Amino acid sequence: MNFDFETDYCIVGAGAAGCVVADRLSESGRDRVLVLEAGPSDWHPYIHIPATFLKLVRDPRFSWYFQMEPEPELKGRAQRAPQGKVLGGGSSINGLAFMRGQAAEYDEWVARGCPGWGYKDVLPYFKRIERYEGGDDAYRGRDGPMRVSGASEVHLLTRSFVAAGMELGFPRNDDFNGSAREGVGVIQNNREGRFRSGAAQTYLVRAKRRPNVQVETHALGRRILFEGKRAIGVEFGRGGKRLRVCVRREVVLSCGAIKSPHMLQLSGVGPAELLAAAGIPVLHALPGVGQDLHDHLYTRIAHRVRGTQSMNERTRGWRLAFELAKYAVTGGGIMANATTSGALFCRSRPELANPDVYVAFTPGSYVQQLQLEKEPGMAISVIQSHPESTGTIRARTADPEDDPAIQPNYLSAEIDRRAVVAGLRVVRKLFAAPSLAKWSSHETRPGPSAITDEDLLDFARSAGTPGLHFCSSCRMGTDERAVVTPDLKVRGLEGLRVIDASIMPGCSSGNTHAPVLMIGEKGAAIMLKERSAA
Ligand SMILES: Cc1cc2nc3c(=O)[nH]c(=O)nc-3n(C[C@H](O)[C@H](O)[C@H](O)COP(=O)(O)OP(=O)(O)OC[C@H]3O[C@@H](n4cnc5c(N)ncnc54)[C@H](O)[C@@H]3O)c2cc1C
């Protein structure tokens, strides 16, 4: 075989996890690291200004904007799934909410066959990521590469949401990344002053300065090259050319929960029947590849705002000009903040040991997925934290340019349907609490005609949108359906690991960025330990 590049480690995908792995593997200077990223560099200013990520999610230069399959339990609606396609991946176009998930979730990972991934094991890696000034030293990191901050300006409506939660008797939580998740409070962001502090702007920036690191953008990984059952390289496409990388040590797939299983399937690793149907020769039958896909479903109740300005008006016309000027001069204002800013973690049933519902407040409202309305509005989303509905990622053809079929099967599990309805009832109470009710003229979605549990479920089916927290499609574990072992090696193959959201045994509560960065940190540490022992 002829090769165009040679390296020790090749990381396919420079997203949240890929940037961390590239940085940590190259730190010692001992090994060469080559990173392949399908998208461009993170040059666009909208990546760096916190509020403007909404402008990029539909831009095909920076987002995959996948077409998903019709969802049977969502009335057959086929929705879009934006995913970062740029250095930093989702970490460059996401909503900056920084949430670790609950301690009990990681302990549950251990119970599900992932020794070494309990909360006490992963906590040091969470701390390693961040530079945060508040909170408790036992939980928070002080000198990591990524700056985590409180909101630079807490919107009046967000403060009212927190007060409303307390009026309902929920405890105030001043640090969702501290000892406990339960309660109501303000979301922290990965933000450095006025700018996004994402994986590309922190980890990858410093890695790129090293002579042993090479980053290739606009480089679409097409398949992994094998010698027997050992990965020896990667074929990628750029500008109509096919190029090959020879890999001396290991190939790391960090393409995210949609493209990592797709890339394995394109390389002949996956369920044998699926590969045969797509016309891909089987190299290694592995039934779990692309199975067990999870995502959070977001169902938003929205109200028309009166008596104050919501984010909707403040990001239009002359008010936008004012906000931009304020941002330019002071680095503050609405442009310096993410859209979703308040959170409540609660239980849908009192007997549960831990919160299973995540309620997220936005001082603005949407006409459709991540597109703000013109009229003043505010919205509260309900998210079942641990969905039991699972779906699939399936290659349709052998062509790497063809997107896979994406089917999360939202609301296919009864427990998810019940939790969403219970969460929507909590949201109705929050909007009725005095602190929030005073800013509302009326409920716009679903509106007063939705009364019964059936009405609310029907609303979730009609209006629920993908949470974009895709995970578990190359699930870690020790059972027959697991794709990677707890040290993130693809089962039955050599020289190949998956390190990204796809390995998570299930969704974390809250958002997935921080857990994925942790997976990058811990995955790299496992690799370096093996490297030193060799
Ligand atoms: C619009 C949006 C908003 C979100 N908001 C939040 C939030 O506020 N807080 C939060 O915690 N989480 C949020 N998330 C989720 C979070 O960003 C993701 O969970 C996280 O980025 C996943 O990391 P990853 O490394 O698994 O994959 P990604 O970050 O998606 O990275 C995968 C990378 O691989 C590249 N790639 C894919 N296939 C190939 C290939 N074949 N060859 C080369 N490169 C390839 C992609 O272009 C991408 O850069 C959001 C996600 C989106 C899309």
pLDDT tens-digit profile of 246-267?
A: 999 999 999 999 999 999 999 9
Mean of pLDDT values over 362-387: 91
User: Which residue has 């990001």 as its token pair?
Assistant: 315
Q: Between 113 and 372, where is the model more confident? A: 113
Counting from 1 in the atom list of ligand 1, the atom nearest the Cα of 83 is: 53
pLDDT digits (tens, 9 = 90+) for 452-479: 999 999 999 999 999 999 999 999 999 9
Predicted confidence at residue 69, as pLDDT, reads: 98
Which pair of tokens denotes residue 519?
A: 């997976």
- What's the pLDDT at 315? 86
Share of the chain above pLDDT 90, in %: 95
pLDDT at residue 1, rounded to an integer:
84
Q: Is residue 369 pLDDT above 90, yes or no? A: no
- For position 54, what pLDDT does the model report? 87
Enter the tokens of residue 28.
Answer: 């010692």
Secondary structure letter of residue 63 according to DSSP? B
By most ligand atoms within 8 Å of CB, the mutation choice from 497, 513, 518, 519 for ligand 1 is 513
Catalytic residue among 44, 294, 469, 513: 469
**Crossing angle between the packed helical segments 16-26 and 513-533, to the nearest 10 degrees:** 30
Mean pLDDT, the chain, integer: 96
How far apart (Å, rounded) are the C-alpha atoms in residues 451 and 400? 47
Question: How far is it, in rounded angstroms, from Cα 315 to Cα 337?
Answer: 12
Predicted confidence band at 339 (pLDDT cuts at 50, 70, 90)? confident
Is it the case that residue 338 has pLDDT exceeding 90?
Answer: no
Atom of ligand 1 nearest to the CA of 513: 11
Judging by beta carbons within 10 Å of its beta carbon (0-12, 13-18, 19+), is residue 45 exposed, middle or buried? exposed
**Would you list the DSSP string of 485-522?**
-TT-BBTT-BSEEE-SGGG-SSPPSS-SHHHHHHHHHH
pLDDT grade, residue 75 (50/70/90)?
very high
Best substitution site from 469, 497, 498, 508 to test ligand 1's pocket, by max atoms within 8 Å of Cβ? 469
pLDDT in tens, 233-250: 999 999 999 999 999 999
The answer on pLDDT for 368 being more than 80 is: no
Query: What is the predicted pLDDT for the residue at 371?
Result: 80
Residue 149, both tokens: 């901050």
Q: For residue 372, what pLDDT is reported?
A: 87
> Which residues 6+ apart lie within 8 Å of 337 measured at CB?
50, 51, 151, 152, 153, 155, 189
Give the model's pLDDT for residue 314: 87
- For residue 318, what is the enclosing H or E element? helix 317-330
Average pLDDT score over residue span 520-529: 98
**153: pLDDT confidence band, cut at 50, 70 and 90?**
confident
Rounded to the nearest 5°, which phi and psi values hold at 425?
-65, -40
Tell me which residues have their CB closer than 6 angstroms to ligand 1: 12-18, 36-39, 57, 82-86, 89-91, 93-97, 99, 219-221, 254-257, 259, 263, 468-469, 500-501, 511-514, 516
